[in-house]
Amino acid sequence: MKSVYEHFNDITLDLNSIENEVMDIDDVTMKRIKNRFKSSINKNYRGNRKRKYRVWVASLLLALGVSAVMLNNSVLADKIGIAKAPYINTLFSKFNYSGKFEDYTQVIGESVKDKGYEVTLNEITMDDYSLMIIYTIKTEEKIEDIINKAQGPFPYAPSKSIKINNKEIRGGAGGRHEIIDQNTVQVMMDYEIKNNDIPDDFTMDISFNEIGNVKGNWAFKFDATKGKMRDSIKSFDVNTKYTFIDGKGEEIELVIDKITFSSISTAITFKADKEFEYSNIKFRSENDFNERGASLSCNSLRLGYKYEGLYKFDYVEEIPEKIIIEYNKKDESKVVIGEISLKE
């Protein structure tokens, strides 16, 4: 049986036919694709003045992968005249997160080796409240041995800097990992983004400073975009106050600010006048929301509502008509706090 790559050996691709209007990407990105693609072609074909090239599919994948460009795989496949193949699917599908990751994932594919650890930054995706990255760690020592003896959170890198246009982003994070083989582990991290003033196109720096209690330098810098994601985001400005009695008997004023739906997640932002057990707040609709995480922070200098937070959930296929807010009491009974209508 032929390998999947052999089926693509005789592809003819006209670079001039890849146009911005069809691909729906910007001029800078298109230029980068073409330049990378040309540089990867075998020298035996560079003298062809018709600007049509027969290439091995490995060259095509390398050119597109190293370019770190966000592409709609189905559009690209249709444009070069081949069916969408499973090997171009995103790695996010392995981690049981719902979402249309295949349409909004940016492939980085860069590796840095230091102090016996090789780190590969595989993929990223981003909306207004989540930055999700996948990275792979390879080491000569067995992964399970490192995990068993580690005093820190390996394989999650505790000391990491993430900057967008040279400004560091801060927020909570959750993650999952999968051991690929005895020397390789793959990690998915979901970071909370609190700054919504991020432009559609930006430069990102991700630096790992410590892995497995070993300090080192694993740094990555690349151009990124979330312009396409912007078109998939639907936000509802709620700005409604609800009151309830918490487990300590105190009255809490809870203000739901905004509910945002994107192709990779759902987010609800809120503020409150007092600290409370925010994990006891639950949201449900016709279909239950699968919660990814929540956070609450305090700004003592703020007047009025000093506490603000974020609830994050999985992507939902269809925006519900209403969301019911519940508070789970210590005796496991539930109290309905209010109802949010999302009818337009």
Whether the per-residue pLDDT at 332 is higher than 90: the answer is no
Single residue among 177, 201, 227 that ends a domain in this structure = 227
Between 86 and 317, the higher pLDDT residue = 317
99 shares its domain with 223: yes
Please report whether residue 1 resides in a domain: no
Residue 321: CATH number of its domain: 2.60.40.1640
Residues 105 and 198 in one domain: yes
Please tell me the predicted confidence (pLDDT) of residue 56.
Answer: 39
Instruction: Indicate whether 80 and 128 sit together in one domain.
Output: no
Q: Please give the helix or strand (H or E) that residue 148 lies within, else none.
A: helix 143-149
DSSP assignment of 196-257? ----SEEEEEEEEEEETTEEEEEEEEEEEE-HHHHTT-EEEEEEEEEEEE-TTS-EEEEEEE
**Same-domain pairing of 80 and 171:** no
Assign residue 131 the CATH number of its domain. 2.60.40.1630
At 91 the three-state DSSP class reads: helix
pLDDT tens-digit profile of 12-21?
A: 444 454 444 3
pLDDT of residue 151: 65
Asked whether 61 and 40 are in contact (CB, 8 A), the reply is: no
Q: Mark whether 107 and 76 lie in a shared domain.
A: no
Domain boundary among 227, 245, 265: 227
Domain housing 99: 92-227
Helix (H) or strand (E) holding 293: strand 291-298
Residue 214 in domain: yes
Please report which confidence band the pLDDT of residue 198 belongs to, taking 50, 70 and 90 as the band edges.
Answer: confident
If you average pLDDT over residues 307-332, what whole number do you get? 90
How many CA atoms, within 13 angstroms, populate the side-chain half-sphere of residue 25? Answer: 23
Q: Tell me: do 161 and 248 sit in the same domain.
A: no
Per-chain mean pLDDT for the chain: 77
pLDDT of residue 2: 39
pLDDT number for residue 158: 61
Please report whether residue 194 resides in a domain. Answer: yes
Residues 79 and 123 in one domain: no
- Answer for the pair 266, 314: CB distance below 8 angstroms, yes or no: yes
Overall domain count for the chain: 3
Q: pLDDT tens digits, residue range 279-296?
A: 999 999 877 688 888 888
pLDDT tens by residue, 178-194 = 999 999 999 999 998 87
- As beta bridge partners, residue 291 has 313
Question: 14 and 101, same structural domain?
Answer: no
Which of 176, 211, 227 marks a domain boundary?
A: 227
Whether residue 64 is contained in a domain is answered as: yes
d(CA 45, CA 53): 7
Q: Which residues have C-beta within 8 Å of that of residue 186, sequence separation ≥ 6?
A: 91, 94, 122, 134, 135, 136, 137, 177, 178, 180
- Whether residue 234 is predicted with pLDDT greater than 70 in this model: the reply is yes
**Is residue 298 one of the residues assigned to a domain?**
yes
Better-scored residue on pLDDT, 235 or 32: 235
Q: Evaluate whether residue 240 is within a structural domain.
A: yes
Residue 337, domain member (yes or no): yes
Q: How far apart are CA 244 and CA 278, in angstroms?
A: 12
314 and 267 belong to one structural domain: yes
pLDDT at 3: 38
22 lies in the same domain as 112 = no
Domain identity same for 127 and 183? yes
148-173 pLDDT per residue, tens:
887 667 888 767 889 999 998 877 78
Are residue 213 and residue 98 in the same domain, yes or no?
yes
- Give the count of alpha carbons within 13 A of 240, CB side only: 14
